[in-house]
Amino acid sequence: MLARGRLTAVCVVHELLPDRGQDPDVTAIDKRPVPHAVAVGELGLDGDTQCDRRHHGGVEQAVYAYADEDAAWWAARLGRPIRPGLFGENLRTWGIDVTGAEIGERWRIGDTAHGVLLEVTAPRIPCQTFAEWMGEPRWVTRFTEHGACGAYLRVVAPGLIAEGDAVEVVHRPGHGVTIGRMFPDLSPPSARALLDAADVGVVDLGPKVEAHVRRLARRP
């Protein structure tokens, strides 16, 4: 076991909201905690949805996690509570270094018989929908400058999760390219290191992330 924390909340969409000027014109950013166990499958949590899978969903971005510690930092700076789900996250964690998670790092949540196995895939990139939802001046710039973006994860093994479940980092690839190093953009050397790790099977980037990393690496 490399690190151990816990889930402080499991969140799914509360209601779809209008998202003017976007395609589609609705958003599922309004997530709220649920008090019961939730099934997690290939495309995320039961009862949740992803309106724009071109940018924010699909297999490679099935689950979004944000750390309590980072939410507390924002609460102090903004002078308002950052309740679980406010950033559109499915999982609120405590005790896990989300920004320091390596691409390809695996988290076991819950027990081995019924819990889930997730794999870190990419940082969350803030968008105009997020900015409108938060209603804070220069939100995209401020969120980017702080660097605590949270992590998207794919579902390696489905199961059930609930608030209070243990979160264990059970595998770290060792290539050193973290969520924090990837956000907002990788340097060419870091991008090449990540591609090298993918080439030898250390990490599975998935087609969307690999295409992005190849552009940054300036490698054909």
Q: First CA to last CA across the chain, in angstroms?
A: 37
CA 63 – CA 90 distance, rounded (Å): 6
Does the pLDDT at position 219 exceed 80? Answer: no
Q: Which of 4, 31, 145, 34 is closest to 89 using CA atoms? A: 31
The per-residue pLDDT for 51 is: 63
At residue 129 the predicted structure's pLDDT band, cuts being 50, 70 and 90, is very high
Does the pLDDT at position 53 exceed 80? Answer: no
Residue with tokens 């995320």: 44
Does the pLDDT at position 220 exceed 60? Answer: no
Burial 58-68, CB ≥16 within 10 A → b, else e: bebbbbbbbbb
CATH class of 3-174: mainly beta
The domain ranges of the chain are 3-174
At residue 1 the predicted structure's pLDDT band, cuts being 50, 70 and 90, is low
The per-residue pLDDT for 209 is: 93
Residue with tokens 């290191």: 193
Average pLDDT for the chain = 94
Residue positions counted in the chain: 220
Does the pLDDT at position 40 exceed 90? Answer: yes
54 vs 59: which has the higher pLDDT: 59
**Pairing relation of β-strands 63-67 and 44-45?**
unpaired
Does the pLDDT at position 176 exceed 70? Answer: yes
